[in-house]
Structure 1
Amino acid sequence: MNDVDVVISGAGPNGLMLACELALAGVTPVVLDALPGPSDEPKANGLVGQVVRMLDMRGLYTRCAGVDDPPQPAAGWIFSGMALDFAGMEDNPMYAMAIAQPKLVRFLFERARELGIEVRWGHELTGLDASDDGVRLTIATESGVYTETTSYLVGADGGRSLVRKSVGIDFPGATSPTVARLAHVVVPDEYRRADGGLDVPGFGRVAFGHNRFDRGMVIYAPFEADRSLVGTMEYGTSTDVEAPMSLDELRDSLTRVLGTELRVDEPQGPGPHALRRINGQNTRQAQRYRSGRVILVGDAAHVHSAMGGPGLNLGMQDVFNVGWKLAAVVKGTAPDALLDTYHAERYPVGERVMMHSMSQIALMAPGPEIAQLRRLFTEIITVPEVAAKMAALLAGSDVRYDVGDDHPLSGYLVPDLTLDDGRRVASLLHDARPILLDLCGSAVASTARPWAERLNIVEGQLSGGPAAILIRPDGYVAWAANEFEQRDGHKLRTALRRWFNQPA
């Protein structure tokens, strides 16, 4: 008998969100983190892609974003600094929500406390021994070292994951020959323009966001009134990785890229302020997202460039995918093999992010050939079909899960549907239970009644919509039918067995 059903190593956004997903499904995990409390380190500045809708499906979007209305698709985005126009796009899958990572972590920590989850700050996982029966953990604290056993261990412990290394999962990939530097700074008011960009004396225009120039890239993002994010990326260079990053180092890099000085000063607020260097951009993906009773999520499973902001979208979608599956296996309502679908479904999505993040690095490189390639890209992305393709790629919606059903909706995140009586389908998923929408008043509900303990059967009407939709807890459609005939009943029972086991 193990001490705990599930232990999560890492109390960042992915670890805390997974803890909340498990708790909603009836499994209360323990979360370990070496830090004494929620991190204040400035990292991501928002959520991008389908994960915004997934937060809405848990009733968390309005609370987290501080708004009253549900999320709306973004009118555009960027790809390697090039503007993408999604205005007027039908079924636009791209969403965005601005929130600093420390604020997101605190929000999810409070949510975890509401759900009765134990987060052990200052408890560092230092070793593990995995077997067929569970995982034995060695945990260090200020007062000493102790051991604990768990049925399942989830590594949400970042790109240098101890969990991944301890179970021998390879982490292949590539390292781009770049040096990136980023810092919170104060820029002179006389440089700033009303459109969010800069006018640098002796150089000219530096727009909001990513800017490619002949000698490298400059990032300018005034997300906060009293400090701006300023960064550079230089290609084919290296630096002394032992020396700590300094503001003078960033100033020198800005001068090399721009050919003139861009005055930046230290912020006056209490911080912490971003001041970091990435010497060589790693793009790597774990060969397996699961090894027996050990599971990887987020950066422990994949690392890549932050360009375009895909990191939390990718990692938190991992969490939504695996959370309900792990809970079902722990509770004994699903076979262990259900966890194998986690790697099968999420690994291809990770591959797509690797592809487009490395492509964006390549398109930022200096050189006249790249400049001409960007001119070509700028023309191509104005084609509506190409813009739609880019929106799906960057939102993470262009990979279809193999759910065993061929309906056009199956394998994709359920659209943002509203039933004829005004109920949003997203609101029906707040408790993280699967949903069977009976939209035709037929035998759908009676077919699924043996599984009634494991899913919510919701009757309603949807003008112009299908007859029925089976939605997994992560919001993905497992089965759908435009009509409900005898063969559709057979397909529904097959889908219910596949995802929710034999009836109780």
Structure 2
Amino acid sequence: MSHDADVVVAGGGPVGLMLACELALADVTVVVLERLTEVDTTIKAGAINSPSAEAFYRRGMLPDLVEVQSTAIEKFSAFLRQRQAAGASGVKPPPKFAGHFAGIMLRGDLLDESDPDFGDTGPAGDVGLIPQEALERLLAARAARLGVELRRGVTLTGFDAGEDGVAVHTSDGTLHTGWLVGCDGGRSTVRRLAGFPFPGTDPEITGHQAIVELTGAEALGAGWNWTDTGTYVHGPMPGRILTVEFDGPPADRQAPITAEDLQASLRRVSGVPDVTVTKVLSATRFTDNARQVPDYRRGRVLLAGDAAHVHSPFGGQGVNLGIGDAMNLGWKLAATVKGWAPEGLLDTYTAERHPIGAWVLEWTRAQVALMRPESHARALRTVISELAGTADATTFFAKKISGVWQRYDLPGSHPLTGASAPDLELSDGTRLGGRLQGGGGLLLDLADDRGLRERAAGYGGRVRVHTAACPERPGLRALLVRPDGCTAWAADDGDTPAGLDAALRRWFGAPDGAAA
């Protein structure tokens, strides 16, 4: 079968675009199909976590993210000024924000920032407040620069997958490709047509999130609020509201969301009878439906992001989980397309990402349980709130929310193996993160060891070798870093290079001229 593209990605949101960019870095031809004709402006996620920030930093996107974050911070400041001008009492900037669990705020001044898990992110650690719409625009622009073909206003209607490729049927004709990846959201057409099982738990709540114009808002509490009828949020930007009601899922999740719908929900949950929604600027409806496919691959069809797992938005894990999927899958699928992938490489995608997805589902289920407007949940919330007021608990929750705990179970005993590579500051004035922009593997030789460099000499464009010292880590001898930033192998001074050859073969195949 002749192919119109090496890979077709269904879905042009942040996950699909990030995956397309990763593939394009490896000279894989990609077509992205997106049913919407413009970037989705619906209010969604408002922040990214550490693994996502590191991923964007390692691809040279940090300056753009800093600019976006500055705009987000100004909107937060505008919300405080608006509240003060309206005469709301007790309005003051909160302590340094460290995240929240079920709306229980974590105080940054209690965070133990000396914890080593927080110490290796480099400049990426300063970026977090990135709205999803802005992120999608940045990724769309980057995809265009990399030569990705983004077809907007095109809907996937079906596909036929065979041993040598996939015929993808769309509203604009049929495309022939080697691989199809569904990044088409929680109601994924690719997942449904491919027959992926989707086990999980049914929804209990109806949630709304919106940007609106309001009158009577000064009577609303700022931030998260719990009442006898549910939970509501006001802020942290002008006009942003969120309501959660625990009377079951919506009768029609696809129905248009009107000002009357939002106003009625906000009045029911807040108990403020005069708050009035005069205009809806952006709105979305959500539930706590929590499901995950057991395997992210069926032959030449794969899933990533919400197509592979859905859950409530509490804790802001959704887009971050999807970006992690894209980073993990991108280079592995590219290696498979290019023909140098070692046996079983693509299967490690599910093996590595499924446990993290399963954790996110449990994390969000726990938050829904804690938010229920009933006496047992209130009692438990009181206990958790008291715990969250301690340094140990704040640090625990912040590590979970930020994602710095995430690592893969890889062979090797070094503490860095399987973890995100530390953003080492090198003696030549560069940082490790800046050396990953090309998307390939990296052997970082910190001891000027010719023997180590010779072991990687047969890997050509698959693994680049860089030699420099690292004064801040004098005992660290070398790192082998995968294209997704994961440490595949590491050694300290005095260690033998045992394991490096196996790690190179495991992740990058056979060296040039050697038998596979």
TM over 0.5: yes
CA distance in 2, matches of 1:261, 1:350: 40
- Asked if residue 181 in structure 1 is aligned to residue 208 in structure 2, the reply is yes
Q: Do 1:21 and 1:323's aligned partners in 2 also have CA atoms closer than 8 Å?
A: yes
Residues 386-405 of structure 1 aligned to structure 2 (within 5 Å): 386-405=393-412
- Asked if residue 375 in structure 1 is aligned to residue 376 in structure 2, the reply is no
- Asked if residue 232 in structure 1 is aligned to residue 254 in structure 2, the reply is no
Q: Deviations over 1:180-236 (max 9, x none)?
A: 123221234x85xxxxxxx51xxxx6122x32222210011242xxx5111211113
CA distance in 1, matches of 2:20, 2:467: 31
CA distance in 2, matches of 1:121, 1:355: 35
Among residues 471, 493, 500, which one is paired with 1:483 in the alignment?
493
Residues 141-180 of structure 1 aligned to structure 2 (within 5 Å): 141=172, 146-180=173-207
Unaligned runs of 5+ in 1: 192-198
1:274 counterpart SS class: strand
Which range moved further: 376-385 or 111-120? 376-385
The aligned counterpart of 1:219 is: 233
For 2:185, give the aligned amino acid: G
The aligned counterpart of 1:462 is: 470
Percent identity (aligned)? 39
The aligned counterpart of 2:448 is: 441
Higher relative contact order (CA 8 A, sep 6+): 2
Q: CA deviation at 1:252?
A: 2.0
CA distance in 2, matches of 1:256, 1:36: 36
1:467 counterpart SS class: strand
The aligned counterpart of 2:51 is: 50
Q: CA deviation at 1:262?
A: 4.8
- Aligned residue pair count: 473
The aligned counterpart of 1:195 is: none
Q: Do 2:112 and 2:391's aligned partners in 1 also have CA atoms closer than 8 Å?
A: no
Among residues 54, 77, 100, which one is paired with 2:131 in the alignment?
100
Q: Do 2:246 and 2:372's aligned partners in 1 also have CA atoms closer than 8 Å?
A: yes
Q: Do 1:231 and 1:250's aligned partners in 2 also have CA atoms closer than 8 Å?
A: no
Which range moved further: 169-178 or 237-246? 237-246
The aligned counterpart of 1:362 is: 369
- Change over 3 Å in CA distance of 1:465–1:317 after alignment to 2: farther
Q: Deviations over 1:227-282 (max 9, x none)?
A: 51112111134554275332222222222222232523334xxx8x223333x421
Unaligned runs of 5+ in 2: 71-95
Q: CA deviation at 1:300?
A: 0.3
1:309 counterpart SS class: coil
- Asked if residue 337 in structure 1 is aligned to residue 338 in structure 2, the reply is no
2:170 counterpart SS class: strand
For 2:263, give the aligned amino acid: R
CA distance in 2, matches of 1:11, 1:185: 26
Q: Do 1:155 and 1:164's aligned partners in 2 also have CA atoms closer than 8 Å?
A: yes
For 1:258, give the aligned amino acid: S
CA distance in 1, matches of 2:37, 2:447: 54
TM-score by length of 1: 0.88
Q: Do 1:444 and 1:484's aligned partners in 2 also have CA atoms closer than 8 Å?
A: no
- Asked if residue 114 in structure 1 is aligned to residue 126 in structure 2, the reply is no
- Asked if residue 26 in structure 1 is aligned to residue 27 in structure 2, the reply is yes
CA distance in 2, matches of 1:460, 1:234: 56
Q: Deviations over 1:89-133 (max 9, x none)?
A: 223277653233232222211111111111111221100111221
CA distance in 1, matches of 2:97, 2:510: 44
1:46 counterpart SS class: coil
TM-score by length of 2: 0.86
CA distance in 2, matches of 1:178, 1:299: 19
- Change over 3 Å in CA distance of 1:425–1:238 after alignment to 2: closer
RMSD: 2.2
Q: Deviations over 1:341-366 (max 9, x none)?
A: 00000000001100111111111111
The aligned counterpart of 2:278 is: 266
Q: Do 1:440 and 1:467's aligned partners in 2 also have CA atoms closer than 8 Å?
A: yes
For 1:291, give the aligned amino acid: R
CA distance in 1, matches of 2:250, 2:200: 21
